[in-house]
Amino acid sequence: MVLKVFFPSCCSSAESGILVGRWLSEQSSAVILAVVHFPFIPFQVKQYLSEVQRVTKVSVSVLGSWSNSKQEKEENLSKFLEDLGTIFSHEPWIQISKEGDSKFWSCSTFQKHSNNPKEEVILVYYDQRKVMLSHLHPPLDTTTSTDQETDDASKLSAIFHTVAKSKMLFMTDRYNDGPIKLTHWQSDGAEASIIVELMKQASVPACMLLAFLLSLVSGICRSRVLKFWPLSFLWRKLSTCEQLGHRLQHLQVISSNKKAQTQTQLMRKANIFVSLLIDVALGILLMSWLYRKNRIGHLADTLIPVADHVAEELQDLLQWLMGAPAGLKMNRALDQVLGRFFLYHIHLWISYIHLMSPFIEMILWYVGLSACLGLTVALCILSDIIALLTFHIYCFYVYGASYLLALCCSQSCCSSCLQLHSIIWCLPCSVCWW
């Protein structure tokens, strides 16, 4: 008969001791759950295992001994571990040994009341953490499956059931002050588990507080105050307001205390959370880059010369259009009126830029600070700033379209219409990069 021993890979570096697990007699299999280290009192071990068996309803017992010989003083330990079989009296008594850092292990069994005390043993390694956190799905179609497949599935489910039900056994770690020291998949994770549990306990009131604040903000946004002009106009036109509205909805979905009913809702929550996390991480990277080496100051100092250069190019273009562009004969009076009109607007725009120059660095500083809300929020604020700085281009279109509509009503102004059309389309094309 072949005996199968399922040994957890997390116990391969454990110190010498005794093997604790469950014996499956119908399968001739032993599922090792943990290793109990020396020193220990056998009565305390039996009492502890009986308490675990009472709570978990799993017949946990001492199945054998584990020897991990790392020093010379442990060479005679194997005889002592073999004698422990008389104290705990389990048949068969499993003996697993490992010599130092060797890759070769020795696994054998010992039975006193048997004609064949030595049996063939198959040692199977398994990841205890993955088995603990996994769920074994039974065959869907039991009518077409063979008896052999059903039997194999039941044997495998017994192993999964044993590991999953032994949760109480995994609650004892090496930092425990109790008389029994165990090695299992949670031996080194007790402190981290405590931190995780504390975070779970703190996340509930934090989510409740965040949900309350978000509901308060959304209530203010839905109030009638924002429906009056010009607040309603700004809320619809500014991309920052639109982005903040979307961000508010995403935070409400994430901080909701309602459990996801379907897999689609769960994936939607996860996608929103991951996208929000990536957005905030990229925003923090942008913020750290801007505030390093005074890049905001250099950017503010570069803005005024670039604006002056654009204004000069526009003025040169208007002077060229006010004359005879490309040899075309234009209406002299209309040239002067429209040219001076647009030159005046450019003068107002560049004066506005110079008036705002002392505050540009502070504005950019706050825009960089807003990147902690996410990269998309900072980009939306930058888009709104560029739209406000280039508002004069929109004025050119409005005024030029009004003149063009008025002049096109008369059939005798075709040349004037052509001239105005060229002015309207040449101006924006020259500053579209700005």
Per-residue pLDDT at 65: 85
Q: Using CA atoms, how far apart are residues 3 and 29, in angstroms rounded to an integer?
A: 6
Secondary structure class of 426 (helix, strand, coil): helix
In a structure prediction context, what are the per-residue pLDDT tens digits for the chain, which is 434 residues long? 688 889 988 888 888 888 999 988 888 889 999 898 877 888 888 888 888 888 888 888 888 888 887 644 455 565 666 667 677 877 788 888 887 666 667 888 877 666 665 678 888 888 888 887 776 666 555 555 556 655 665 677 888 888 888 877 877 766 666 778 888 877 765 445 555 556 666 666 777 777 777 777 777 666 666 666 666 667 677 888 888 888 888 888 877 767 777 778 878 888 888 898 999 899 899 888 888 888 888 888 888 888 888 888 888 888 888 877 777 777 778 778 778 888 888 888 888 888 888 888 888 888 888 888 888 888 888 888 888 777 767 777 777 677 666 666 654 444 444 454 554 444 444 333 33
Task: Name the token pair of 335.
Answer: 């040239």
Q: Using CA atoms, how far apart are residues 429 and 314, in angstroms rounded to an integer?
A: 10
pLDDT in tens, 126-184: 888 888 777 666 655 555 555 665 566 567 788 888 888 887 787 776 666 677 888 88
Supply the pTM of this predicted model.
Answer: 0.47
Q: What is the DSSP string of 182-243?
A: EESTTSS-HHHHHHHHHHHHHHHHHHHHHHHHHHHHHHHHTSGGGGSTTHHHHHHH-HHHHH
Per-residue pLDDT at 77: 62
Q: What is the DSSP string of 356-384?
A: HHHHHHHHHHHHHHGGGG-HHHHHHHHHH
Per-residue pLDDT at 278: 92
* Sequence letter at residue 88: F
Q: Pairing state of beta strands 2-8 and 29-37? A: parallel
Q: DSSP secondary-structure letter at 324? A: -
Q: What is the DSSP string of 31-92?
A: EEEEEEESS--HHHHHHHHHHHHHHH---EEEEEEEEEE-SGGGTTHHHHHHHHHHHH--SS
Q: Pairing state of beta strands 29-37 and 182-183? A: antiparallel
Per-residue pLDDT at 139: 59
Task: Name the token pair of 40.
Answer: 């220990």
Measure Cα distances from 251 to 219, 220, 222, 269, 415 in Å.
14, 16, 16, 10, 58
The answer to whether the beta carbons of residues 31 and 24 sit under 8 Å apart is yes
Place of tokens 């998309």: 376
